[in-house]
Each structure stands twice: as C-alpha cells, then as structure tokens.
Amino acid sequence: MKTTFRTYFLFLLVVVLAAVAGYSVVLAQYNVAISLPSEEFIEDFDDFKVYNPPQLLPEVVLYDLDGNILNLKDLKGKWRLVNFWATWCPPCIEELPRLLELKETRGNKDFDVVFISLDYPESAGAMRRRMKQAKIPPGLHTFYVQDIEIWKTLSLESVPTSMVIGPKGRVYFKLAGETDWAGKESLAFIDDLLNN
C-alpha cells in the first residue's frame, strides 16, 4: 500500500512541477510532454480543449476530390492539424489562405495540414463546384464527408474547428474558431509539437 501511495505521490509531484515550470501537459504514458500554447494563442479560439490522455480517432469515411477513400482513424505517422471547414462558412474561407501558408512553411515528413469539408456533397464533382462558387484558393486539396453524423461522432459544435492529431492517430487538442495559422503564436505552437 505504501509503494502505491508513494508512486502516486511522486507521479502527482512530477505533474505539478512540470505544469508550474513550463505550463506543460504531461502525457507520460504516451511519452509526450507538450507545452500549452500562449494565452494570446488560446484566446483566439471560441473553445480550446486539451485531451489528456489523447483520444483515439473514430472511424469516419473521407473522400477526396480524386475519388479516393480514406478513414480518419488512419491518419497516423506524423503530427497533423486537421481543419474542418465548409464553403458556406465565411470565417472558414477567410482562414484557408493562412492554413495553406502554414502547410507550405511547416509541412514536411513530420507535419501536415489536412482539410475536411463539412459540405456533404454527393460527389467529388459537386464538391468542386461548391469550392469554385465559394472562390476557394486554388491548390486546396480537401477531403469531404457525406454523413452529417460527423458532428456527433467528433463532438463538433461549429466550423471552423481544428484538431491536432499526433503520430499515433490520437487527438491532443480541439480548437474551435478561426485564427491566424501563419502568425507568430500559431507557428510557436506547431514548432513546439514538432520538437517533441
């Protein structure tokens, strides 16, 4: 009994010290220590959720504009910022160029930005037409879903919403609302992820 209490106490002490020293979220069982982003970064969002422990991605079928099918739970192997957006959402469209800039400047073997449209088109052609009507920036490679249940499955409440997915396919953060993804605070947040 003493050993269990001592182990628990030491673990709790380490967590508290890590939080005080660097405002870190310690995810010991996943061998990841991630610092929380700055207050300025968090304040940009309507809602900022930290998953501790990180959550497994559910099964959600995604389609791309070339007719390929992917499952959301298969997004593994690198850090990903998954952005849920829609052509009918002005803040989403306003945010897209900065997300594309983030993808351009930070996208590599360790990080990528993934776009998932919540327009529910019946086909890739219909999705292309909606993107053209909404004047979406060229070069945006997006996935889309055909099932409105994704809102419930992922506990989405609004768009734009972004999720930070780790290399093992687990959700670490959910960020509802738009931000300047190519700005100093956002880049510091992404760089911190990549340095773990």
Mean pLDDT over 161-180 rounds to 96
Q: For residues 178, 25, 101 and 57, what is the CA-based torsion angle, rounded to 10 degrees?
A: -80
At 6, is the pLDDT very low, low, confident or very high (cuts 50, 70, 90)?
A: low
pLDDT of residue 16: 39
Per residue in 70-120, pLDDT (tens digit) is 999 999 999 999 999 999 999 999 999 999 999 999 999 999 999 999 999
Per residue in 26-48, pLDDT (tens digit) is 444 445 566 678 888 899 899 99
Q: Is 156 left (phi over 0), alpha (psi -120 to 50) or beta?
A: beta
Cis peptide before 53 (omega within 30 of 0): yes
Strand spans (E) along 10-147: 24-27, 32-35, 47-56, 61-64, 69-71, 79-85, 111-117, 142-144
For the entire predicted model, the pTM comes to: 0.82
What average pLDDT does the structure give for the chain? 86
Q: Return the domain boundaries, the chain.
A: 1-36, 38-194
Q: Is 155 left (phi over 0), alpha (psi -120 to 50) or beta?
A: left
Residues 162, 82 contacting (CB under 8 angstroms): yes
Domain covering 38-194: architecture: 3-Layer(aba) Sandwich (3.40)
What gap in Å lies between CA 106 and CA 154, rounded to an integer? 26
